[in-house]
Amino acid sequence: MWQIFSEAWTYVSGHIEAQQTGAVYLISTLVVGGVGAYGGARGAQRIVSREAILKGRRDAILAANSAHSLTMVIFNQATSLKKQHYLPRLDHWQKQRQAVTETGESKIAIHFETPPPISFPITKLSEIVYGKLPLNGRPLAALSELVQAEHTLTHLLNEYQSLHRELEERDLTDAIERYLALDTRRGRDDRYKDLLVGFVDLVDDLLFFADVLGKDLLAYGNVVRDQAPNRERKKLPQVNEPGKLMPEYEYLIPKHPHHTRWLEGHKMSWPPRKVPFSKRLWPFGKPNPNGP
């Protein structure tokens, strides 16, 4: 009887031990599988995230390069306008007025050539800067100034054509007095002079703010490249080279006090760079001889 009971107990205890071993094996298998699946998912997520960041940096640099190219187009267009049209016209008018007022010259030539219509790619530039680049501060202020300068230039061209039609309908002597802004009994008409000066000032604004925005775009592209790890930097496009102005055209670059004041009031700021690991561990890491 005791032998039968002993054999039965041995069988039951063996069966329980086998069930416990199976349960432990099943649980360990589930844990190992879950950890492996989690690790695989995390690894895949990190790869996808890294590729997304790389794509974002690549797109940002390409957009900055495209916008910079447009600023160079605007700069070259404004340089051509100033050199070939607006500056020679203002110089010619000043010499004519000086000859009449100082030497009594009676023979003058009235020039009413309408400046050539030029379409600046400022609208396309705005689409790139506002739609594809996370910029703020000075670049957006410079772009706003470019938009305003283009609109004002269009307004002045319309005023110029209107004044041209008005002077053609006036008596020749009256038209000359108004054209040269001469003092008369009825006063002095400065409209033509103000238009010539306004054209040059607006072209100078286009030159100045296109140059400022172009340089800021290149600086932004370099910041994006510098923030990328070294292993990713080789996969990123290069930033455009800055444009070079030939020495014989340097006299066209404006140097107005109000532009200097504008720069003083619009400083460029960038997000803080990542602090190196050794600097975060200082003084246990290598100290920076130039200070923190």
Distance CA 99, CA 51 (A): 70
CA atoms of 142 and 266, how far apart (whole Å): 9
What are the backbone dihedrals phi and psi of residue 111, each rounded to the nearest 5 degrees, phi first?
A: -110, 120
- The confidence score (pLDDT) of residue 123 equals 93
Tally of CA atoms within 13 A in the half-sphere of 168 that contains its CB:
9
Q: What confidence category does residue 28 fall into, taking pLDDT thresholds of 50, 70 and 90?
A: low
Cα–Cα dist 122/73, whole Å: 10
Q: With cut-offs at 50, 70 and 90, classify the pLDDT of residue 149.
A: very high
3-state secondary structure of 120: coil
> What pLDDT shows up at residue 217?
93
pTM of the model: 0.75
Any idea what DSSP says for residue 82? I
**pLDDT by residue (tens digit) across 69-126?**
999 999 999 999 999 889 998 998 888 888 888 877 667 777 777 777 788 999 999 9
Pick the residue with more confidence: 111 or 6?
111
**Per-residue confidence (pLDDT) for residue 155, from 0 to 100:** 93
Q: What percent of the chain has pLDDT over 70?
A: 75
User: In which residue are the tokens 């000032």 written?
Assistant: 201
